[in-house]
Structure 1
Amino acid sequence: MPFVISDGIRLYFEEYGEGYPIIFIHEFEADLHSWEAQVRHFSGRYRCIAYNARGYPPSDVPDDPAAYGWELAVRDIEAVMAALSIRRAHLVGSSMGAYAALLFGLRNDGAASAIVAAGAGAGSPASDQEEWARSASVLARALTARGMASLAVKMASHATRRRLMQKDPQGWNVFVKRLKQLSAQGMSNTLLQCQALRPSLFEFQDQFSKMNVPVLLAVGDEDNPCLQTGLMLKSTIPGAALWVCPNTGHAINLEEPAAFNAQLEALFTMVERTSCQHSDVRKQSSSQNDAVRAAPLQAGGAIA
């Protein structure tokens, strides 16, 4: 099995295709398998990398809760990129993964050429923070006491998940089956150290206002915990676009894979077209004064 090492923790990853890299970062209630529809779509012309977060087998499941946390999740993205010799990439994150992708963008200027944040920011509004932390603690204790098998169906039946059940019953059954196979300990530690303790995205508004990365904010119109945060991010990040998908809950990439892929395709095409235009300008300047060289879009390379 292929692994990268992040602060001594092994992270399992899968890689498909060649070209400019896209890194997929999964949500709390899933692992890298949740990106199958996206990897199939994009691996024909991109280098697609998906990995399991710490606590999600076959990645390591540390016993120590201190080995988990949102800052470590950001460092895990950095470790994946470093181990695979990737200097710049498009990042696609869902929920917990979207949070990490956005904070990675803030902390690593220039390393993300585009960020897709789907279902970002549950628990971030001030009115939700106390209940968010309480619910995370309750679920963490339940997972430790009862295990995944007894709680998976209930977790997958949350109000923000019911649309997946209605739209794609077979897909929902697969979602539940895979949820049962995740580590109760890993998810419990993730809840207590990452989900419950992470700062609200509203706390980063000043930094987001200076963020120089094209961002697609994707949210289902029935994903109530994320709508307010999505609007805040749209109004704050200069290069942000907000796509609200109708009749859709939290698992937007699972519920509407074709529409989700089309939105990503449009973002990546726009970013790459802009890069090519900038490269053409530099090439013209170079031919005139032999002073500047173009930096075309390529795997692991730079996007101007």
Structure 2
Amino acid sequence: MPFIILDDVRIYYENLGSGRPLVFIHHLAGSFKSWIFQNKYFSSKYSVIVYDLRGHGRSSVLNYPYLIEDHSKDLKGLLEYLRIDNPIIIGHSIGTLIALDYATKFNVEKLVLIGALYKAPDPDPYYNYVRIATSFGMEALAEYRRLHGEFSEALISNYTAWNLLLQVYKENNPLGYKYAVEGLLKSKDYSNDLSKIDEDTLLIYGSEDKLSKNAEIFKQNISKLKLNIISGYGHFLNFEAPEELNNVISNFL
């Protein structure tokens, strides 16, 4: 299994296929497995890099909050190790903040932002998420969020999609989740930095994703932005609507 040691963290990654480099950055409580449908689709034409963020999956769990800048530094180290200096970066949820931080500091060819954030989310629900995860485990957290209507009907009614998300949640360490959340909630507001991004950027939301309200900020500040709303789906398009998502990304590339 391929790992890279970066200062104080061990990062798990996989590199599939060959061609122009696509780097996928997963959601909170995700892993490289969050991109299972994208791996298979894109690795036939591109060099696909997927990895576990610090505190997630098979990567190190460190006992302090993981700032977005820490994740961005990890990404830079991984890409330097792989000798990639102009990647196409595809981020989802927390992965979009990491992508934004990276893109405002280093060269990228293109950006794809799925279910995007531009600043830290409302902290109140996350305090409760951390309490549940650290007290009862990650599966309990997923079930809590399902029972409280925080996932789309398209996700929870799709047996395959729901169980893939549940599997990824269960493979995460509650302490890693805790520190990832604490770092996420300290994220800076990137709205004033978005104008620095002059590369072609694709912004994708499911129509049922509550974060789609952020689209206006991106439209106002990124000059080469294309917005695509995938109707009938929520936040986890990678599981809920993989064919639609793959097609939208492929057409952009």
Indicate if the aligned counterparts of 2:24 and 2:91 stay in contact, CA closer than 8 A. yes
Indicate if the aligned counterparts of 2:206 and 2:232 stay in contact, CA closer than 8 A. yes
Measure the CA separation in 1 of the matches of 2:191 and 2:167.
38
Indicate if the aligned counterparts of 1:221 and 1:247 stay in contact, CA closer than 8 A. yes
Letter in 1 for 2:141: L
More helix by share: 1
Pairs within 5 Å for 1:44-55:
44-55=44-55
User: Which residue of the partner structure matches residue 71 of structure 1?
Assistant: 69
Aligned length: 252
User: Which residue of the partner structure matches residue 144 of structure 1?
Assistant: 134
User: TM-score normalised to the size of structure 2?
Assistant: 0.93
User: Which residue of the partner structure matches residue 118 of structure 1?
Assistant: 114
SS in 1 for 2:60: coil
User: Which residue of the partner structure matches residue 82 of structure 2?
Assistant: 84
Pairs within 5 Å for 1:96-115:
96-108=94-106, 111-115=107-111
Q: Give the deviation of 1:267 after TM superposition.
A: 1.5
Alignment match of 1:232 (pick from 217, 230, 245): 217
1:223 aligns with 2:209: yes
Alignment match of 2:154 (pick from 163, 170, 185): 163
Q: Give the deviation of 1:41 after TM superposition.
A: 0.7
Identity rate, percent: 26
SS in 1 for 2:208: coil
SS in 2 for 1:34: helix
User: Which residue of the partner structure matches residue 39 of structure 1?
Assistant: 39
Indicate if the aligned counterparts of 2:11 and 2:53 stay in contact, CA closer than 8 A. yes
Measure the CA separation in 1 of the matches of 2:151 and 2:195.
29
Measure the CA separation in 1 of the matches of 2:56 and 2:243.
27
Measure the CA separation in 2 of the matches of 1:29 and 1:180.
9
Indicate if the aligned counterparts of 1:216 and 1:267 stay in contact, CA closer than 8 A. yes
Q: Give the deviation of 1:123 after TM superposition.
A: 6.4
User: Which residue of the partner structure matches residue 241 of structure 1?
Assistant: 226
User: Which residue of the partner structure matches residue 197 of structure 1?
Assistant: 186
Pairs within 5 Å for 1:285-300:
none
Give CA-to-partner distance per residue, 1:188-228, whole Å, 9 cap, x none. 11111x2211123xxx333212321111110111111x122
1:185 aligns with 2:175: yes
Gaps of 5+ in 1: 269-304
Give CA-to-partner distance per residue, 1:11-44, whole Å, 9 cap, x none. 0001110111111100003211111111111111
Give CA-to-partner distance per residue, 1:242-300, whole Å, 9 cap, x none. 111111100012211111111111111xxxxxxxxxxxxxxxxxxxxxxxxxxxxxxxx
Q: Give the deviation of 1:103 after TM superposition.
A: 1.6
1:142–1:17 CA distance, 2 compared to 1 (3 A): same
Q: Give the deviation of 1:156 after TM superposition.
A: 4.6
User: Which has the greater radius of gyration?
Assistant: 1
Measure the CA separation in 2 of the matches of 1:117 and 1:84.
23
Letter in 1 for 2:156: M
Letter in 2 for 1:154: Y
Gaps of 5+ in 2: none
Measure the CA separation in 2 of the matches of 1:90 and 1:171.
26
Q: Give the deviation of 1:51 after TM superposition.
A: 0.1
Measure the CA separation in 1 of the matches of 2:162 and 2:173.
19
Q: Higher mean Cα deviation, 172-181 or 215-224?
A: 172-181
Measure the CA separation in 1 of the matches of 2:227 and 2:221.
11
Indicate if the aligned counterparts of 1:55 and 1:190 stay in contact, CA closer than 8 A. yes
Alignment match of 1:251 (pick from 217, 227, 236): 236
Q: Higher mean Cα deviation, 71-80 or 141-150?
A: 141-150
Letter in 1 for 2:167: K
